[in-house]
Structure formats: C-alpha cells, structure tokens
Amino acid sequence: MRLYDTMERAVVEMRPERENTLTMYSCGPTVYRFAHIGNLRTFLMADLICRAYRFHGIEARQIQNITDVGHMTDELFDRGEDKMLVAAGVENKSPQEIASFYTAAFLEDVDAIGIRRAILYPKASDHVPQMIEIIAKLIERGHAYAVDGHVYYDTASFPAYGRLSGNTLDELQTGHRKEIGDPNKRHHSDFVLWMHAGPNRVIKFPSPWGDGFPGWHIECSAMSIEHLGDRFDIHTGGEDNVFPHHEDEIAQSDGAAGHQVVRHWVHGAHLLSEGRKMAKSAGNFYDLRDLAAMGHAEPLAVRLLLLQSRYRAQMNFTRDALGAAETTLARWRRLVGDWSRGAAAPRSDLESKYDTRFSETIADDLDTTSAVALAAEVVSTPDLAPGAKARLLARWDAFLGLNLQREAGEAAAVPTDIAELLAQRQKAREAKDFAESDRLREQIRNLGFDVEDTAEGQRTRPIG
C-alpha cells in the first residue's frame, strides 16, 4: 500500500510495523451536531484505508475518538465558547444528553454510508486521567509549564515543532485564536494543555493544578496512546487538522514518549459544496438527513459520489452529481442482480487481469477515481461473460462498499435446472443459433421464469 504522507510530503509505502496488522487512529467527531457530508468524506477516507489493507490480506485495527469534552470554535460559535455547552443551551439539554444523542446519530450515519465501524470509539470524557498523566510527564520532561491553574506546552522545547505543517516558530501564524494575547504564555505559539475552570464552569475535572478541563489536542494523544500504544502506523484526519491539532498532538505525544509515536500521517482534502466552503450561513450545509428530506434517500449514493474523487483532492459536491450517482448505483445493483441469476462463467485470463488492475489501483495512493472507472468498464465491456462481471464487482465491493449485491439475493432461488438451461441458451446465442435460443427461452418460461436479453446479458426473473 502506498499513501501520501503529509509529514514526508510524498507518496510512500506504508507497511505495518506489526506483521499483518495495521494500527490506525482516526480523529472522530465532536458530538454537538450532526456530521455533515464533508465530515463523512474524511471518515470515509479512513474506512477506505482499512478496506484497502484488508483487500490485500492485512487486518486493520482502527480506533476513532469521540470528542465530548472540548472548547473549539467554528463559524457558528466564534467567541471561544465550548461547543458542547453552547449546543446544550440551544437545545435545552445537558451536555451529557447532547453528547449521547449526537454520538448515536454519528454511528447511524457511519452505518448508513457503509463505513465499517472502528474496533473502539473511546470518549474524551473517559480519558481525563490519561490526559493528566501525559501533562504531568510533559512538565517533568521540560515540555510544559503551569501558571495559575493553566498548563501550557512550551513549543520552543520541541525542535521538530512545525515540521508537519511547514510552520516555524519565528514565522508561525498562531492557530490558537482564542489564546492570542494570553499573558501567561511564554511564546504566542504555546498552547493550552489544561485550563483552569472558572466558578461557573459546568464541565470540570480535578487535577494537580486545580479543577479544570483539558485542551482539545491532548485528548487525541491520550486516547491514541492508551489504546494503540506509543508506536502505531497511521493517523488520519481532515486537512484542517494538520495545524494546529496534529502539529500539537505530535509535540505532546512524542514529547511524552521520548520518541516518534505515529509513523505516517494521512489527511483528506476539503469537500466544497456548490463551489464554496460548507456552512449553514451559506445555505450549502448538508447532512444525510437533509439530503433524505430533499429526496436523496440512498446514502450509499453519497459514498459512490465521494469515491469518484481521490481523498486528497478537493471535491465539489452538487445535488446534480448526487442524482447521477444514484442512477449509476441503481443500475449497477440491478445488473449485478441479473448477472448473478444467470449461468456461472468459468474464470478467464481477462477476469484475472481485471482483478490485478483493481488491486493495483487501490494500492496506488487509494486511487478511488480509477477504481470506480474500472468498475464502469467491467459493466460495459462485451468481453466478459455476465457471471464474470458479477463475480468481479462482488469481490471489488469489499473495497467499494456499495452493497452491489443487494438485488442478487434471489440468485439462489433460481433452480439448478433453470441455470443449466440458461447456460445452454447462452451458448446457442454465442453460436448465433437463434432457433435453439428461442426454444430454450420457451422451455424456461414453461418452468416459471422469464428471460430478457439485454446488452449486459440474460436477465432472468420468476413469472408472477
């Protein structure tokens, strides 16, 4: 497998350190609202990495966090508020109720879009002791300092700070907007590991530095190391995580461990919506529920649309493009169902060549664009028997995740004698013996099955 390593700025081979098992940590959702399709594109990238390794016989052990404690900002709440607390106030629920509701919604979306679940979804709120332990270790190693109940990371103590994002301390644009001008910091690039809780703070935890709550970045260091150890293969996230989140995470994890924790960093590009950044204020913000209300009821069509662009290329989402993906997905499923009910075809050299091409394509930096194009080529080529096409698409669907065999469930209902007659008829058609072909069609019909000849082969359905 070759993937683009953000740290190396190159496509590199990513071979698991542990034989036949990939270890991967993926930044997950902050559960204060529904995940929009841009979020889902990033989560899909991680799913495809796992599927690609499994397709090549390597097990993937993926952990994805749930952030239910945090104080990030976004376009809705850009005044430094805790997103969980703001959402709780807006919806008149407790922070715990907000987190529980949107965690369940996230997992529903994961299932709907065909993302295989991670082996574990650790919650930030369950890992505060581990965060405190890492912070204490960073202070002990000279990477952090405490001031009036706050703890800050000293970026000057970590010479590699900025390597992932290409920033330097001298020219660094601070990524910690709500901390600009903090008089407690030694350098404007220093970031918060632990924040002192004021008297009205709802979510707070005891610590050696007083009651408070963790900074955003320390959460992922604690959860990844707790569940994957202090050396693992791949860390994924969106390109907006590169700085400051992942830059800070490297400083924390490596600073506490004393060595490199993550071997490779893989990031997905932004999904634009109708040519612009997705935002509620722009009216181009979609989650799966929004799309269903607009008549786009098949979530796996969203998956097919996202597969048509490589994970690290910016993509523009439109409803017209989604409609085209829905049409394609429905057609592929119908064809696979029809082909599966036909006669079995022996494996040919051409089928093997297609398999090799597909395997090489997904191993080549997760080239889903070419993988989808290859599936379309198989669908349309006259050089493969229908049964061979069905086999190929069924095997490839282990990676594509489109449930292409959904309409093939009736294949087993076609009796053996019908399948044999279909095979004889296919041979007669290939020999241009149309009288025999018609005779066999009538015989099959008398046995209770209709046969329709299409450009893709014989289509068989029970009568009535």
Report cis status (omega within 30 of 0) of the bond before 462. Answer: no
Q: How many CA atoms lie within 13 A of 178 on its CB side?
A: 14
User: What number is the average pLDDT over the span 286-295?
Assistant: 95
φ, ψ dihedrals at 35, nearest 5°? -75, 130
Region of poorest pLDDT, from 85-94, 144-153, 274-283, 429-438: 85-94
Q: How far is Cα 91 from Cα 154, in angstroms, rounded to an integer? A: 38
Q: What pLDDT does residue 167 have? A: 87
pLDDT tens digits, one per residue of 413-423? 567 788 888 88
CATH topology of domain 2-268: Rossmann fold (3.40.50)
Structure tokens at 154: 């000293």
Q: How far is Cα 10 from Cα 22, in angstroms, rounded to an integer? A: 20
User: What number is the average pLDDT over the span 258-273?
Assistant: 97
pLDDT tens digits, one per residue of 34-61? 999 999 999 999 999 999 999 999 999 9
Task: Tell me the average pLDDT of the chain.
Answer: 89
Q: What pLDDT does residue 463 have? A: 67
Percent of the chain with pLDDT over 70: 90
Q: How many CA atoms lie within 13 A of 415 on its CB side?
A: 8
The tokens 């990030």 sit on which residue? 72
Q: Which comes out higher in pLDDT, residue 179 or 442? A: 442
User: What number is the average pLDDT over the span 356-375?
Assistant: 98
Q: How far is Cα 407 from Cα 342, in angstroms, rounded to an integer? A: 13
DSSP string, 222-264: HHHHHHH-S-EEEEEEEGGGIIIIIHHHHHHHHHHHSS--EEE
Residue 81 has pLDDT above 60, yes or no: no
* DSSP, res 205: B
Whether residue 73 contacts residue 177, with contact meaning beta carbons closer than 8 Å, is answered with: yes
User: What number is the average pLDDT over the span 313-333?
Assistant: 96
Confidence of residue 255 (pLDDT cuts 50, 70, 90): very high
Residue 336 has pLDDT above 80, yes or no: yes
Q: How far is Cα 390 from Cα 458, in angstroms, rounded to an integer? A: 12
Residue 90 has pLDDT above 90, yes or no: no
Q: How far is Cα 216 from Cα 246, in angstroms, rounded to an integer? A: 11
Q: How far is Cα 249 from Cα 263, in angstroms, rounded to an integer? A: 13
Q: How far is CA 217 from CA 48, 235, 244, in A?
A: 25, 14, 8
Residue 76 has pLDDT above 70, yes or no: no
- Listed by start position, the domains of the chain span 2-268, 414-464
Q: What is the dihedral of CA 322, 404, 369, 244, to 10 degrees?
A: 70
Q: What letter represents residue 218's amino acid? A: I
Q: What is the dihedral of CA 179, 181, 187, 191, to 10 degrees?
A: -10
Q: Which of 61, 24, 38, 40 is nearest to 107 (CA)?
A: 40
User: What's the first-to-final CA gap in the chain, in angstroms?
Assistant: 49
Confidence of residue 78 (pLDDT cuts 50, 70, 90): very low
CB-based burial of residue 312 (10 Å sphere; 0-12 exposed, 13-18 middle, 19+ buried)?
middle
User: What number is the average pLDDT over the span 96-124?
Assistant: 95
Q: How far is Cα 197 from Cα 71, in angstroms, rounded to an integer? A: 12
Q: What letter represents residue 15's amino acid? A: R
